[in-house]
Amino acid sequence: MKEASPGYRPVTVFVAGIAVIALVALVTVAVVQNKPLPKSTRYRYGIVLDAGSSHTALYVYKWPAEKDNNTGRVTQTESCPGISSYASNPQGAGDSLRECMLKAAKWVPSSRHGETPLYLGATAGMRLLNVLSAVEGALHSYPFSFRGARILSGPEEGSFGWGQATTGALDLGGASTQISFVSAHFNGSQSPGNLMTFRLYGNDYDLYTHSFLCYGKDQALRQTLARQTQSGQSSVSDPCFHPGYIRVREYSDLYNTPCLADLAPRTPPTNFTLLGTGNFQGCQELIKSIFNFTQCRYSRCSFNGVYQPQLQGSFEAFSAYNYVLDFLNLTDTSVSLEDVKARLREYCATPWSLLQKQHPTTKRKYLAEYCFGGTYILTLLTEGFNFTADTYKDITVVRQIKGSDAGWTLGYMLNLTNMIPAEAQDTPPLPYAGYVSVMVVTAVVLALILLFLAYRLQRTHCSKPHKIV
Ligand SMILES: Nc1ncnc2c1ncn2[C@@H]1O[C@H](COP(=O)(O)OP(=O)(O)O)[C@@H](O)[C@H]1O
Ligand SMILES: [Ca+2]
């Protein structure tokens, strides 16, 4: 009599053995394979310098090393000098970024410097090549992994600012402005130059994008001033500036931009006096005159003969859209196009002296230009891009997209570091806390099974006369 219930004990022993092996394996994997990263290597960093027309913005991105996807990203930003003003002194451009780069070196732990990618993208788009090579030389001297300085094309500037598949992007800089959106009516056949194709998370997108050089806020303002000074006037009554605003400006200074090439009057006086009249309607008429609506060789155009498919979906507007509309208290989603007009009518007519008293701390140059800026935005959106009272509701003014400052810098870095997954991920990686929980629960269950089996083995042993199954 060896077995009270033949076949029972070997099965139990076998299962118990497997459980022991599984438990040991589980604990070994838990201990050896998935220790949290040491503090200094827990985060990764990336630095992008956005050399725009008005200034250079420094972005330092930081994200958990375990999640190389588009989540958990934190940004630190810093405003640095603009490099385009160094066209005649390229060496100075490199030196001018020194203070900013030292800040970046402080924000990124030194143990991570060597592997932190550093990019510079220039969007000012004008006569920058000699400046860029000087800046490249300077950026090589920092401890980061410098990956080059280059001029972004208009489509790149527009499309990297575009973040979510369903949302269009509107960017208004100083020199140029971009519009990008996905449209069911656009596959590039009419206008291949406006097509950017993307493969994102397993889906293909045909993105329409266009960048209008010389239609950023500063260059557009210069265009309106050029319209009023073409015959060498010595004084100009400008409806886009407030009543009582007076400023003497130099002709050479105004026309010193490729956007106004060949437009300068032949023998102008040295200066002209700019006198504000503060008239919204007049300002809008003046702004309309810098757009050309007459020629279009496509089925539909925005302006200057540029193809634009029918607007589709919602839009996020940032950069100067945000600076200007925020100052004018017009960023709320409930604000209608009529509200914008009413606010501008009242705002532009406000005397300059009163305005300065109301906003003693606002930079004078900015304060003087919000009337123009607001009127330009309204005109660009409605006359230029064909937004209506109805579709204007689809625009949200944003400072940030998904927790990062809105703009092209994050998309640019993610693209160049191959961190935007083209294909959908099959299984989302488990976060560390989730991993530990799964391990603990499984180990506890296995331990309970073991205890239970041991208990039954013992009982079988101690009560042989009874048949227990
Ligand atoms: N706080 C602000 N208020 C008003 N205008 C601003 C402010 N900050 C920047 N600007 C202006 O908004 C425009 C766009 O700025 P930005 O997007 O930085 O331009 P860019 O990329 O061409 O350098 C520029 O004309 C700039 O001078
Ligand atoms: Ca910009």
Q: Give, using CA atoms, the residue closest to atom 12 of ligand 1.
A: 320
Nearest Cα residue to 151 out of 222, 74, 213:
213
Tokens for 208, please give them: 């329409």
Instruction: List CB contacts of 176: < 8 A, sequence separation 6 or more.
Output: 53, 123, 125, 154, 157, 211, 212, 213, 214, 215, 216, 219
pLDDT digits (tens, 9 = 90+) for 9-61: 777 777 777 777 777 777 776 666 665 556 656 888 999 999 998 889 999 98
Cα(66)–Cα(264) distance, rounded to whole angstroms? Answer: 57
Task: Please tell me whether 110 is known to bind a ligand.
Answer: no
**Amino acid 403: pLDDT:** 59
Fill in the amino acid letter for 178. Answer: Q
- CATH, domain range 43-161+407-417: 3.30.420.40
The residues of the chain scoring below 70 in pLDDT are: 1-8, 29-41, 67-73, 124-128, 166, 400-404, 421, 424-435, 461-469
**Amino acid 198: pLDDT:** 78
The alpha carbon of 18 and the centre of ligand 2 are apart by a number of angstroms equal to: 62
Task: Please tell me whether 177 is known to bind a ligand.
Answer: yes
Q: What is the CA 356 to chain-centroid distance, rounded? A: 33
Ligand nearest to the CA of 318: 1
**Distant-in-sequence contacts of 247-253, Cβ < 8 A, 24+ apart:** 247/273, 247/274, 247/368, 248/272, 248/273, 248/274, 249/225, 249/273, 249/274
Q: Give, using CA atoms, the residue closest to atom 3 of ligand 1.
A: 323
Cα(117)–Cα(119) distance, rounded to whole angstroms? Answer: 7
pLDDT digits (tens, 9 = 90+) for 420-434: 767 766 555 566 666
Helix (H, G, I), strand (E, B) or coil at 344: helix
The alpha carbon of 10 and the centre of ligand 2 are apart by a number of angstroms equal to: 74
Q: Beta 314-319 vs 395-397: how paired, if at all?
A: parallel
Task: Please tell me whether 71 is known to bind a ligand.
Answer: no
**Amino acid 469: pLDDT:** 43
**Amino acid 180: pLDDT:** 93
Q: How many CB atoms lie within 10 A of CB 328?
A: 18
Ligand 1 pocket: which of 48, 54, 257, 362 to mutate (most atoms <8 Å of CB)? 54
Q: Give, using CA atoms, the residue closest to atom 25 of ligand 1.
A: 174
- DSSP labels, 445-458: HHHHHHHHHHHHHH
Task: Please tell me whether 305 is known to bind a ligand.
Answer: no
**Amino acid 388: pLDDT:** 98
Q: ipTM for the complex?
A: 0.99
The alpha carbon of 237 and the centre of ligand 2 are apart by a number of angstroms equal to: 30
**Amino acid 466: pLDDT:** 53
- DSSP labels, 41-89: GSEEEEEEEEE-SS-EEEEEEEEETT--SSSS-EEEEEEE--SGGGTT-
- Positions marked active-site: 157
Dihedral of CA atoms 61, 62, 66, 72 in degrees, nearest 10, equals -80
**Distant-in-sequence contacts of 153-156, Cβ < 8 A, 24+ apart:** 153/211, 154/125, 154/178, 154/209, 154/210, 154/211, 154/213, 155/193, 155/194, 155/196, 155/209, 155/210, 155/211, 156/408, 156/412
Considering Cα of 281, then 383, then 193, then 411, what sign does the dihedral take? Answer: positive
Identify the DSSP state of 383: I
Q: How many CB atoms lie within 10 A of CB 247?
A: 14
The model's pTM is: 0.80
Cα(197)–Cα(159) distance, rounded to whole angstroms? Answer: 9
Please, are residues 229 and 264 in contact by the beta-carbon 8 Å criterion? no
Ligand nearest to the CA of 366: 1
Fill in the amino acid letter for 162. Answer: W
Helix (H, G, I), strand (E, B) or coil at 223: helix
- CATH, domain range 217-397: 3.30.420.150
Pocket of ligand 1 (CB under 6 A): 52-55, 123, 173-175, 216-218, 319-320, 323, 366
Task: Please tell me whether 167 is known to bind a ligand.
Answer: no
Q: Give, using CA atoms, the residue closest to atom 2 of ligand 1.
A: 323
Question: What residues flank ion ligand 2 with Cβ within 5 A?
Answer: 52, 173
Q: Give, using CA atoms, the residue closest to atom 14 of ligand 1.
A: 173
**Amino acid 1: pLDDT:** 43
Ligand nearest to the CA of 363: 1
